[in-house]
Structure formats: C-alpha cells, structure tokens
Amino acid sequence: MPTIITARDLTKNYGDLVAVKGISFAIEEGECFGFLGPNGAGKTTTVKMIHCVSPMTSGTLLVDGMPASIDNRKVKALCGVIPQEINLDIDLTVRENLMVFARFFDIPRAEARTRIAELLKFVELEAKRDCKIDQLSTGMKRRLLVARALLNKPRFIIADEPTTGLDPQARHLIWQRLRQLKAQGSTLILTTQYMEEAQQLCDRIVVMFEGKILKEGLPSRLIEEEIGREVVEIRAPASEDERLIAELGSLSCGHERVGDTLFFYCRDGHGIILKLAELDLPNTVHRPATLEDVFLKLTGRSLIE
C-alpha cells in the first residue's frame, strides 16, 4: 500500500505549551489509522495539522506528496473531516447544510444534488432532509457530520472523536458506517479516547500521551506485547500486596497496583485462578486483556517488575 501521509518530527507549540513534541508516523492508503490518547494528548492538534487548519511549528508533514501547510487548498480538497464538536450550520436545514458545503468544494450543482441524495440515504437521514438542525438528535447530527465529510469524495477521512456523547445504538451506527467506508477503500484517520472504538475500527494505532507517541502497532499485537492475554483484578488493600505478589507473582508476567485494585497480567490466567481459589479471596475479576489495559499501563503507571 502506498503511503498517503508522512510526518517527521512534527511539532506544535501554542505559546509556551508544547502540544505535539516531534512525532513521526506514516499512514498508508486504505488503512484505518488511530490516534489513541487521553484528553490533551495532542491527537486533535495532530489531525488539524494534517488537514491544514493549524500551522505546524516545525518538522515536515506531507499529504499525498504535498506539504500540509496552512491553508493548502489542494490538501483540504482531498480530505473529509468529521469534527469533534458538532459545528453544523444551525441557520440552515439538513439539505441546505450539505448544499452549502458542496459549494465550498466547488461541486457542480447537479452533481451535488445526486450526491446529497445518496449520502442522506447512507446515513439514514432522508426523512429529515428539510428539518432544521435543532430538530435533530445528537446521533442524527453526528450522522449528518459523516455525510458532510463525504461530500467531496475524500481521499482520506479524518474522524476526530466521532462518537463522543452518543448512546450505544448511535455509536454502533457510526462505527458501521465508518467500517463500510473502509471496506470501500477509504483511508480513515481516527482519534479517540475510547479503547473499544480503536479496537473496533483501527488496523494500526499509535498511543499518544503528553504530545508524544508512546507505542505504535496493531491493537491486538500491542495488547499481547504489553499486557499478555488475560488480566486478573484483585480488590484488596495495599497492605496485602506483599503477600499476594509473593504468592502470585511467579504465575504472571507483570503486576500493577492502581487505587484499590491489584492487577496481574498474564498469558494464561489458569494458574492464578487456581491459586486464588486456594487463597479464598472474595473480590476478584478474571477477564481478557484489552487495549484499555495497554493504555493505562502506558499512560498511567509503569509496571513494578
């Protein structure tokens, strides 16, 4: 797969605040690339530089071979943006919103009309085409943002936390649509703080924290490398740590104390479970490892080996 976006030592300062600290990454055509990180990690700043609405401080950033400098109209024409904040035009109807946007992309009127009809169908908003924006639910608004981002048949789509504040149904509908787009060959760039979302959608992720990329890889691979396959959580006071680690430490590949919980990470949890039964501890959870564990481990505390 050819590379569509390459960043080298990309840095962004807002005054004294360094939001992005010299990160490098490459995004391939047709993949779903995720930026995973907590609030303030620099994800949104990074994608804003990609779609040319925020000037970089230093480094290089190439989109389809062109420098992604501020106001590069050619780059902006290639890109569809599903923004984090719902910034629909509340003075206009659903259809007018799309019509006006089509003009901004210089899409001829007749073509815009057919495209809008298709897209409203795609996001299941045909019935709402003449509604004002404040008559839509949050889920509908988010879907309209998806339709708006697709008007210009973008080479790549930036989805900046596209499901924030949605209920499970609405969230799954957005995910389905994004997967459908990927299946049709679109390149997707996703930022999210939801691990499930990253696991559901992304081929590759980078974990960002405090403006830096901590890890890069396939979600499943990251979990295996960083955590193992399974996690055993024991809710017990910290005073018990020494005893429990002495008993269970050899059966796991790592452990961590977070608040009221002692985590054991392991490839195979059976040994620990058997031991736990022996110890007769009441408050334990045994579950598969998730991206969330990777995330907490990378961004929160480091393993005590």
Shortest separation between residue 258's beta carbon and other proteins, angstroms:
35
Shortest separation between residue 53's beta carbon and other proteins, angstroms:
5
Shortest separation between residue 262's beta carbon and other proteins, angstroms:
43
Structure tokens at 300: 């929160």
Measured from the Cβ of residue 107, the count of other Cβ atoms closer than 10 Å reads 19
* Residue from 55, 67, 108, 165 binding other proteins (CB under 8 A): 55
Q: What residues are paired with 291 via a beta bridge?
A: none
Give the 3-state secondary structure percentages of the chain, helix then strand then coil, rounded to 5.
40, 30, 30
Q: Which of 3, 2, 37 is nearest to 21 (CA)?
A: 37
* Residue from 90, 258, 277, 285 binding other proteins (CB under 8 A): 90
Shortest separation between residue 123's beta carbon and other proteins, angstroms:
17
* Residue from 58, 60, 87, 138 binding other proteins (CB under 8 A): 87
* Using rule CB under 8 A, residue 88 touches other proteins: yes
* Using rule CB under 8 A, residue 101 touches other proteins: yes
Residue placing its CB nearer to other proteins in the complex, 62 or 92: 92
* Using rule CB under 8 A, residue 104 touches other proteins: yes
Q: What residues are paired with 264 via a beta bridge?
A: 232, 255
Q: What is the DSSP string of 63-83?
A: ETTEE--TT-HHHHHHEEEE-
Give the binding range for other proteins (CB under 8 A) out of 75-83, 134-142, 203-211, 219-227: 75-83
* 202, burial (CB in 10 Å: exposed 0-12, middle 13-18, buried 19+): buried
Q: Scan residues 171-230 and list those touching other proteins (CB under 8 A).
A: none
Give the binding range for other proteins (CB under 8 A) out of 76-84, 120-128, 220-228, 245-253: 76-84
Give the angle 302-27-228 at the CA atoms, nearest 5°: 30
3-state secondary structure of 193: coil
Q: Answer positive or negative: Cα dihedral of 251, 256, 258, 260.
A: positive
CA distances 190 to 112, 121, 200, 215, 216, Å, are: 26, 23, 11, 16, 14
Residue placing its CB nearer to other proteins in the complex, 160 or 226: 160
Shortest separation between residue 301's beta carbon and other proteins, angstroms:
33
Residue placing its CB nearer to other proteins in the complex, 17 or 246: 17
CA distances 105 to 63, 98, 101, Å, are: 18, 11, 7
Size of the site for other proteins (CB under 8 A): 30
Backbone φ and ψ of 68, nearest 5°: -85, 70
Q: Site map for other proteins, 136-165, x if CB under 8 A?
A: ------------x---x-------------
Shortest separation between residue 288's beta carbon and other proteins, angstroms:
38
Shortest separation between residue 55's beta carbon and other proteins, angstroms:
7
Chain residues binding other proteins by CB under 8 A are 14, 51, 53-55, 70-71, 73, 76-77, 79, 81, 83, 85, 87-92, 96, 99-101, 103-106, 148, 152
